[in-house]
C-alpha cells in the first residue's frame, strides 16, 4: 500500500507555522490576564477611577492580537504592530501619570502591552521569518520604553519581559531548526527518492526509444543511399535532411498519430523544458515531475496555450511569491490532462484581488477556458500557491499508448 507523505519543505513550514501560532495564542492569553492584574493593582491603591482608559487600550490590543490569530496575514500583523506600539506608549503614559511608582511597584503590569509585541510572528512559515518578527517586536518594545522615558521624563526602564520573550522564541526557533537539520540528515526525502526513481525509469524508456529511432533512421538512410540513383531527387534529399535533424535533436521524437492532433504530450514536455531553461537563468528553479510513459495527443492549438499558461504561472512565482523554487507536475489519463504548478512562497488571498486586476484571470483562467479547459487557484498568505490546469481530451483524440 502506498502512503502519501507531505513534501519535506511543506511539512517543515506547517510545523514552523504551528509554533508561530502557538506564540500568538500565548500572546492573547497574556494580554487577557493583564486585565485582572491591572484591576487588582489599581483598586488596592485607590486608583479605580483611572481604570477605564488603560482597560480600553488593553481591549484594543487583545482585539488586534485576535485578528492576527484568526486572519494570519501581513495586513493584520501590521495593524497589530501599529496599534500595539501606539497603544503601549499611551497605556504606560497614563499609568505613570496617575501613579509614578508604577515604574517600581508594577513594572510587570506596566510593560505587558510592550512585551506582547515580541510574540508577533503569527505569519512566520520559516524559522528565519519567526526569529525576524520576534526581533522586530523586541525593537518596537524597546522603542516604547524609550518614548515613555522621553515624554514623561522618567528613567528608561524597559524591564526584562521583552528580553525574556525574545530569548524564549529564539531558543524555540533554534531548537526547531536544529531538529529539522538533524532529520534531514537521518531521514531521506521520500519525494526526492520517488522523483529519482521515476527519472531513472523515464531515462531507461527514453534510451530505448532513442536507440530504436537511431537504428531505424540509420537503416533508412543507408538503404536510401545504396538503392538511390546517381542523382538524388528533392524528396530523397528532404528525407535525408529530416533523418539528420532527428539524429541531431536531443528531444523526444514524436510518434505517428492521428492527423486530427497537433502535438503530443512528449512535445508539450519538450516545449515546457525549453521554457524552464529560460526561467532558470532568471533565478527560478523548477522541478518537473509526473507520469509520461505514454503518448497522449493534444487537440489542435492547445499545446501552445498550455505552455503559455504554465509560463504565466511561473512568471507569477518569479515576480510575486518570494521563493525561487516551484514544481510542475504533468499527469494524464485516457480522457484528460492535468498540470499542477505549485510553490511554497508568500501566497495571497484570492478573495482580496480587485475585480479590475486581470493578470491572473486573462493569462491563466480565460486562456484555459478558451481551449475547453479550466484553471483553479488555491492560495493562502504564507502558505504558497497551487494552480491546477485541467484539459479534457475528446474521445476521438485520446489515444492509448
Q: What is the pLDDT of residue 400?
A: 39
- Examine the domain organization and report whether 157 and 297 are in the same domain: no
- The answer, yes or no, to whether residue 91 has pLDDT greater than 50, is yes
Number of neighbours of residue 354 by Cβ within 10 angstroms: 6
How many other CB atoms sit within 10 Å of the CB of residue 128?
A: 12
Predicted local distance difference test score (pLDDT) of residue 377: 87
Structure-block grid coordinates of residue 16: 514552523
Average pLDDT, stretch 195-210?
Answer: 62
250 has pLDDT over 50: no
Q: Within this chain, do residues 295 and 393 fall inside the same structural domain, yes or no?
A: yes
- Predicted pLDDT of residue 52: 94
Per-residue pLDDT at 152 exceeds 70: yes
**Are 65 and 150 members of one domain?**
yes
C-alpha cell at 50: 483611572
User: Both 264 and 395 in a single domain?
Assistant: yes
Report yes or no on 244 lying in a domain.
no
Band the pLDDT of 74: cuts 50, 70, 90: confident
The full DSSP string for 25-83 is HHHHHHHHHHHHHHHHHHHHTT-GGG-HHHHHHHHHHHHHHHHHHHS-SHHHHHHHHHH
Q: Which domain holds residue 45?
A: 8-186
Overall average pLDDT of the 129-154 stretch: 89
Chain segment 280-295, per-residue pLDDT in tens: 777 788 887 765 544 5
Domain assignment of residue 134, yes or no: yes
Final residue of a structural domain among 186, 206, 227: 186
For the chain, give the percent of residues with pLDDT over 70: 67
For residue 383, name the pLDDT band (cuts at 50, 70, 90). Answer: confident
Answer yes or no: is 169 within a domain: yes
Residues 33 and 174 in one domain: yes
Q: Where does the pLDDT of residue 10 fall: very low under 50, low under 70, confident under 90, or very high at 90 and above? A: low
Indicate the pLDDT class of residue 259, thresholds 50, 70 and 90. Answer: very low
Average pLDDT, the chain: 76
Pull the grid cell for residue 180. 529539522
Strand-pair category, 374-379 with 336-343:
unpaired
Does 198 reside within a domain?
A: no
Q: Using CA atoms, how far apart are residues 165 and 281, in angstroms rounded to an integer?
A: 42
Distances (CA, A) of 214 to 200, 237, 240: 21, 18, 13
Q: What is the mean pLDDT of residues 305-309?
A: 86
Q: What total number of domains does the chain contain? A: 2
Asked if residue 85 lies in contact with residue 140, where contact means CB atoms within 8 angstroms, the answer is yes
116 in the same domain as 34: yes
Over residues 309-320, the mean pLDDT reads: 87
**What are the CB-based long-range contacts (under 8 Å, 24+) for 317-320?**
317/284, 317/341, 317/343, 317/345, 317/385, 318/279, 318/282, 318/283, 318/284, 320/345, 320/346, 320/348
- Grouping H, G, I as helix, E, B as strand and the rest as coil, residue 1 is coil
Does residue 211 register a pLDDT over 60?
Answer: no
Average confidence (pLDDT) over 105-111: 87
Q: What number is the average pLDDT over the span 339-356?
A: 78
Q: Collapsing DSSP states into helix, strand and coil, what is residue 171?
A: helix
Q: How far is CA 39 from CA 21, 33, 94, in A?
A: 28, 10, 14
Residues 176 and 264 in one domain: no
- Single residue among 161, 186, 211 that ends a domain in this structure: 186
Specify whether 137 is located in the same domain as 284.
no
Residue 220 included in any domain: no
The two most distant CA atoms of the chain are separated, in Å, by 118
Residue 83's CB is within 10 A of a number of other CB atoms, namely: 18
* pLDDT of 386 higher than 60: yes
> CB-based contacts of 228: which residues, under 8 Å, 6+ apart?
236
- Is the residue at 213 inside a domain? no
In a domain, residue 247? The reply is no
| pTM as predicted | 0.46
pLDDT of residue 194: 60
Pair (281, 145) in one structural domain: no
- Averaged over 351-377, what is the pLDDT? 76
pLDDT at 36: 93
Give the pLDDT confidence score for residue 94 in this predicted structure.
93
Instruction: State what percent of residues in the chain have pLDDT above 90.
Output: 13
Would you say residue 151 has pLDDT above 90?
yes
Q: Are 178 and 2 in contact (CB under 8 A)?
A: no
Query: Given a cut of 80, is residue 60 above it in pLDDT?
Result: yes
- Reported in sequence order, the residue ranges of 220-299 that DSSP labels E, i.e. its strands, are 285-290
- Same domain? For 264 and 165 the reply is no
Model pLDDT, residue 234: 66
pLDDT greater than 80 at residue 255? no
Tell me, yes or no, whether 2 lies in a domain.
Answer: no
The pLDDT of residue 206 is 59
Q: Strand pairing of 285-290 and 325-332?
A: parallel
Alpha-carbon separation of residue 69 from 72, 77, 123 (angstroms): 6, 9, 9
- Looking at residues 117-128, what average pLDDT do you find? 74
Q: Which of these three, 139, 154, 186, is where a domain ends?
A: 186
Reported confidence tier of residue 358, pLDDT bands at 50, 70, 90: low
pLDDT score at 196: 63
310 CA to centre of own chain = 16
pLDDT attached to residue 209: 57
Q: 50-64, 216-230, 312-326, 366-380: which range is least confident on average? A: 216-230
Say how far apart CA 299 and CA 130 lie, in whole Å.
48
More confident position, 48 or 6: 48
Count of alpha carbons within 13 angstroms of residue 213, beta-carbon side: 21
Amino acid at each position: 500500500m502506498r502512503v502519501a507523505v507531505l513534501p519535506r519543505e511543506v511539512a517543515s513550514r506547517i510545523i514552523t507555522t504551528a509554533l508561530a501560532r502557538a506564540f500568538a495564542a500565548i500572546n492573547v492569553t497574556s494580554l487577557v490576564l493583564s486585565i485582572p492584574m491591572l484591576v487588582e493593582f489599581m483598586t488596592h491603591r485607590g486608583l479605580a477611577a483611572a481604570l477605564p482608559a488603560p482597560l480600553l487600550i488593553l481591549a484594543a490590543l487583545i482585539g488586534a492580537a485576535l485578528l492576527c490569530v484568526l486572519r494570519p496575514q501581513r495586513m493584520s500583523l501590521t495593524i497589530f504592530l501599529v496599534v500595539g506600539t501606539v497603544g503601549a506608549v499611551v497605556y504606560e503614559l497614563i499609568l505613570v501619570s496617575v501613579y509614578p511608582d508604577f515604574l517600581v511597584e508594577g513594572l510587570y503590569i506596566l510593560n505587558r502591552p510592550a512585551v506582547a509585541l515580541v510574540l508577533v510572528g503569527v505569519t512566520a512559515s520559516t524559522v528565519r521569518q519567526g526569529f525576524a518578527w520576534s526581533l522586530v517586536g523586541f525593537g518596537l518594545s524597546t522603542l516604547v520604553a524609550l518614548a515613555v522615558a522621553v515624554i514623561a521624563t522618567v528613567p528608561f526602564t524597559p524591564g526584562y519581559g521583552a528580553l525574556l520573550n525574545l530569548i524564549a522564541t529564539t531558543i524555540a526557533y533554534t531548537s526547531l531548526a536544529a531538529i529539522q537539520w538533524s532529520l534531514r540528515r537521518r531521514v531521506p526525502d521520500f519525494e526526492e527518492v520517488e522523483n529519482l526513481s521515476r527519472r531513472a525509469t523515464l531515462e531507461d524508456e527514453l534510451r530505448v526509444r532513442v536507440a530504436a529511432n537511431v537504428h531505424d533512421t540509420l537503416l533508412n538512410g543507408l538503404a536510401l543511399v545504396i538503392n538511390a540513383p546517381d542523382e538524388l531527387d528533392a524528396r530523397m534529399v528532404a528525407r535525408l535532411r529530416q533523418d539528420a535533424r532527428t539524429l541531431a535533436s536531443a528531444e523526444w521524437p514524436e510518434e505517428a498519430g492521428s492527423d486530427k492532433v497537433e502535438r503530443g504530450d512528449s512535445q508539450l514536455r519538450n516545449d515546457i523544458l525549453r521554457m524552464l531553461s529560460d526561467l532558470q537563468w532568471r533565478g527560478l528553479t523548477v522541478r518537473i515531475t509526473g507520469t509520461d510513459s505514454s503518448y497522449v495527443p493534444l487537440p489542435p492549438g492547445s499545446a501552445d496555450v498550455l505552455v503559455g499558461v504554465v509560463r504565466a504561472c511561473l512568471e507569477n512565482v518569479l515576480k510575486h511569491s518570494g521563493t525561487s523554487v516551484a514544481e510542475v507536475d504533468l499527469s494524464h489519463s485516457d480522457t484528460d490532462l492535468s498540470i499542477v504548478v505549485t510553490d511554497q512562497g508568500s501566497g495571497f488571498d484570492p478573495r482580496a484581488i480587485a475585480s479590475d486586476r486581470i493578470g491572473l484571470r486573462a493569462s491563466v483562467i480565460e486562456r484555459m477556458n478558451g481551449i475547453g479547459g479550466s484553471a483553479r487557484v488555491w492560495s493562502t498568505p504564507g502558505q504558497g500557491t497551487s494552480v491546477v490546469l485541467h484539459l479534457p481530451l475528446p474521445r476521438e483524440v485520446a489515444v492509448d499508448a
